[in-house]
Amino acid sequence: MEEAALKLLENANDQDFVRLLTDFNTRFERQFTLPEMPNDGWGRMWSVIFHRLVNPAASGTHFTCLNTVRILSRNKAGVDSVVDRDCVSTLVKLAGLVTEEEALSRLNEQINYDVVLEAQKSLFNLIYSSQAIQRFCCGNSCVPGLMCRMKLFRDPELPYLVKYFDMRILFLITALCPDIRPQLRTEHHCLTYLIEILDLEIKTVQELQESSCLSNNQQNTNLVFSVEQNDLMNEVLKLLYNLVFNLGKNGPDEEEESYCLRLVTILRILIMSSVKEEEKTKELHSHTINLLLLMSPQAYEELLMPMPSASEVGGATAGAVGGEDPDVAQSYEYDGKDMTAVTTIFNYLNEQLRAPGKLAKETLNPILILMCEMCRANRSIRKFLRQKILPPLRDVTNKPEEGDTIRNKLCSLMTSPLIEIKHLSANFLFILCKENVSRFIKYTGYGNAAGYLATQGLMLGGKGKSGDYSSDSEESDTEEYNQMKDKINPVTGQFQPPRPSPMEGMSEEQKEHEVMKLVSAFEKLTEQKVIKPCLISADGKVQPVDSILEFQEGLNCPPSNRANHNDSDSD
């Protein structure tokens, strides 16, 4: 804004003031970097705008002023020098974020939600831009005002966009000011209100679908949310994630456990629901899975429901889901329990594994961690998923990582360059195998499994130590597998037909010559530090050796005696 226009703005009447600001807003609406202004032009502009905002008599200019504030607040540089505590308090008040007492005194006032919404957007930008403003909002009426308005979310006249930006502001405060989280949980009972918001949206859709005769059974209804409902719920789920993140870090608590149980019941409904736009459905499921990760292991039982009897569903038996795709879980029922929610999570994993392009950590990590936690915590879930992912082996002509099944995809990830995904994929399959090394190798091949087993100290076999599994056997080798069992290469996990020996027809001198060539090449690679010889130590982990001689001595020494053997050498 030029100097002349700025001076005119400082002395203009309401009509000219709105016109000048409207011109400015139109010019810079889509710009996120504002040009420099001489003579502290931006500071003077902030000052004249807030002079109008604190004046009730100039309420006709407030919407335009706030529109300008929203644009100016994008410019992070200099915000702290022009926006003080009083300015923030003005925005908080215009956003309707006042204490409960003040809200009661303003019950009969007409609310201009356009002004409220612009004030919310401006406040959000400023909180994001400035640590000082973040501290102001933790100490003024912003947080109490947000909590007060959350009690009014049932009011049908309250616009969804206002609810949405309330949740965005509160999420930003909890993300950038983690010290306020305990206060929100204990003093303001924020968890209760947030759960009630999710409950309200679920019941609204259930009642709508029932009235439209779309469903007669609430438990098995696939709810379909609108886009605005989805956006609001996603913000609530993100906010719950922040508040639940450190829940229970000081040990189990009965009240916290009740929150987890109630939350998982709601998350079960959300994971089975959809949104009118497919991409929004994926977004809802993603946030639901992120929050499920923070629940206590005992709470995963709430994902399962007793399967309704035939009489309860009008004489029909439990149906199947999915199409002809062999990777998509087909049954709702397992072990007398409704596995619909687990099926949806399973299908979500399947979609992420099939997604084209480079697999990103943020896409696969959460679902793989959740799968590991659920399977470790709940026997029924583990057995159900094992049936779908690791059925009895029949075809062993291909390598475990070759093919289009979920087992194939997970085995291929076990050698991924992304360390975390590689470990999680292996860990998930290991848990499905009840942490039994021989069973794990049977389904993945020793070549794929070696890296994971080395990190776990299980190179010598055995079982993992973290799982508490039932003692009953789940082995059911097929006839096809047993016929080929002795011809399966344990390294590749693939059937290998008999081949003639490469040394067939050689004399003993020729064989010795080939062996010495191999030893010479091995030693040369070791000296050049291309490879490093290793042995498996007594604790099942890989232990590097310094020379070929030490490697040869180690091979002649049983693993259980290697520790003593090495000690005697050092003496």
367-386 as b/e, with b when 16 or more CB fall inside 10 Å? Answer: bbbbbbbbbbbbebbbbbbb
**pLDDT value, residue 321:** 41
Contact assessment for residue 18 and residue 48, using Cβ atoms and an 8 Å cutoff: no
DSSP H or E stretch at residue 121: helix 113-129
Contact assessment for residue 241 and residue 291, using Cβ atoms and an 8 Å cutoff: yes
* 334 DSSP 8-state letter: E
**pLDDT value, residue 127:** 95
**pLDDT value, residue 548:** 61
How confident is the prediction along the chain (571 residues), in pLDDT tens digits per residue? 667 778 888 888 889 899 999 998 998 888 877 777 766 777 888 899 999 999 989 999 999 999 999 998 887 777 888 889 999 999 999 999 988 888 887 777 889 999 999 999 999 999 998 999 999 999 899 999 999 999 999 998 999 999 999 999 999 999 999 999 999 999 999 999 999 999 999 999 998 888 775 455 544 458 999 999 999 999 999 999 999 987 755 555 778 788 889 999 999 999 999 999 989 999 999 999 999 999 988 899 999 987 665 445 443 333 444 444 444 434 478 888 999 999 999 999 999 988 765 556 678 999 999 999 999 999 999 999 999 999 888 777 788 888 899 999 999 999 888 889 999 999 999 999 999 898 898 899 888 888 899 888 887 777 776 666 766 555 556 666 665 666 677 677 766 777 777 778 888 888 888 888 888 888 888 888 888 877 777 777 777 877 666 666 655 665 544 444 443 333 3
Residue spans of the domains in the chain: they are 382-468+476-495, 514-570
Strand spans (E) along 252-373: 274-275, 305-306, 333-334, 337-338
Phi-psi region of 251 (alpha: psi -120 to 50; beta: other; left: phi over 0): left
**pLDDT value, residue 500:** 77
Residue 197 Cα to chain centre, angstroms: 21
DSSP string, 387-429: HHHSPPP---SS-TTSSSSHHHHHHHHTT-SSHHHHHHHHHHH
pTM of the predicted protein model: 0.84
Phi, psi of 331 (to 5 degrees): -110, 140
**pLDDT value, residue 314:** 43
Q: Can you read off the two tokens belonging to residue 127?
A: 């909180």
Residue 276 Cα to chain centre, angstroms: 22
Contact assessment for residue 134 and residue 173, using Cβ atoms and an 8 Å cutoff: yes
DSSP alpha helix (H) spans, 216-253: 227-244
Handedness of CA 340, 341, 346, 347 (dihedral sign): positive
